[in-house]
């Protein structure tokens, strides 16, 4: 299956369980792998997933909401991509860099597909 990807996208949102985490938005690193619909050789952007629009939609959505868990945020992003774009499936990887002492990355990864 064909896919597009956005790796290392930075976005800010209010996230965390602890009060000290919820004092100000945190920068997250987001990797998205998005399954493309069949294109039959089309060279029209309307026949694919426009990755700049995906990026803008994710960032805007995160700016206007807050979350306690990365798992919930990953589900939110997966649903946004599947419902708003012609994606067949999506893999979402979220990283909260530097949140734990001595740990470079903490995060979650999920994969979801459109219901058939």
8 Å CB contact between 28 and 15 = yes
Q: pTM of this prediction?
A: 0.92
Active-site positions?
A: 96
What per-residue confidence (pLDDT) applies to 78? 98
Task: Kindly indicate whether the domain formed by 3-113 is annotated with CATH number 3.30.1130.10.
Answer: yes
What per-residue confidence (pLDDT) applies to 37? 79
- Domain borders along the chain are 3-113
pLDDT average per 10 residues of sequence, the chain (116 residues): 94 93 93 88 81 96 94 97 94 92 92 89
C-alpha 102/C-alpha 93 separation (Å) is 21
Residue 74 dihedral angles phi and psi, to the nearest 5° = -60, -45
> Residue 105 corresponds to which tokens in the numbers above?
């990355």
* Secondary structure element (H or E) that encloses residue 11, with its range: strand 3-15
C-alpha 30/C-alpha 97 separation (Å) is 11
């Amino acid at each position: 299956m064909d896919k597009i990807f956005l790796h290392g996208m930075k976005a800010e949102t209010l996230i965390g369980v602890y009060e000290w985490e919820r004092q100000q938005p945190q920068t997250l690193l987001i990797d998205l792998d998005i399954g493309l619909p069949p294109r039959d050789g089309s060279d029209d952007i309307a026949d694919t997933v426009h990755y700049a629009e995906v990026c803008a939609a994710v960032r805007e959505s995160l700016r206007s909401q807050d979350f306690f868990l990365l798992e919930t945020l990953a589900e939110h992003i997966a649903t946004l991509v599947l419902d708003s774009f012609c994606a067949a499936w999506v893999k979402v990887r979220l990283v909260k860099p530097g949140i734990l002492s001595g740990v470079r990355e903490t995060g979650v990864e999920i994969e979801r597909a459109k219901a058939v």
